[in-house]
Amino acid sequence: MKFIFALLLFSFCCNAEQERFVHKDIMSFLNALHQVETSGKLGAIKGDNGNALGPFQIWKGYYKDAVEKSKGKLNKNYSHVSDIKYAREVVLWYFYRYAPKALENGNWEKLARIHNGGPNGHNKKQTIKYWIKVKKYLN
């Protein structure tokens, strides 16, 4: 099987009711995103002219979309995306909102391009270069 039924090490799901299918190699993919976004740096890293924050360079709109999808599971304020564990949860909820099948099947290209270009990022030409960068860090 290409995926596992997981609670994920970083508390993506809180109990049996919230369990989700997530590809078994999700951590490798998230590590690749982290490398591309901030060269693996941790903390309150600001980017994109102050619009993005944390290891995954999360914008407020991205955060709000993830929080809405989580239905109360993401219950910290935006500044907490500076914490790697919480930021991973935010990224996963965002993916679960906009590309649940890609999350389940490990379609890293689609997920990387959505992370970079928004909900329809996988259809935008300008996100191809971003995907190529992420792909270089995948094991």
Least confident of 9-18, 75-84, 102-111, 117-126: 9-18
Name the pTM for this structure. Answer: 0.87
The answer on pLDDT for 139 being more than 80 is no
Q: Which residue has the tokens 């982290």?
A: 34
Question: How big is the chain, counted in residues?
Answer: 139
Number of separate domains in the chain: 1
125 vs 24, more confident: 125
Q: Report the DSSP beta bridge partners of residue 22.
A: 4
**Residue 124 sits in which domain range?**
3-11+19-137
56 vs 139, more confident: 56
Q: What is the CATH number of the domain that holds 133?
A: 1.10.530.10
pLDDT tens digits, residue range 67-116?
Answer: 999 999 999 999 999 999 999 999 999 999 999 999 999 999 999 999 99
The answer on pLDDT for 20 being more than 80 is no
- DSSP symbols for 10-63: TTSS-SGGG-EEEETTHHHHHHHHHHHHHTT--SS-EETTTTEETTTTEEHHHH
Q: Mention every residue, 6+ apart, whose C-beta is less than 8 A from residue 57.
A: 37, 38, 45, 47, 48
The answer on pLDDT for 2 being more than 60 is no
27 — pLDDT class (breaks 50, 70, 90): very high
Give the chain's mean pLDDT. Answer: 88
Q: Which residues of 111-133 are buried (b: 16+ CB within 10 A; e: fewer)?
A: bbbbbbbbeebbeeeebeebbee
Residue 78 and residue 70: Cα distance in Å, rounded?
Answer: 14
- 84 within 8 A of 55, measured Cβ to Cβ: yes
24 vs 20, more confident: 24
| pLDDT number for residue 1 | 34
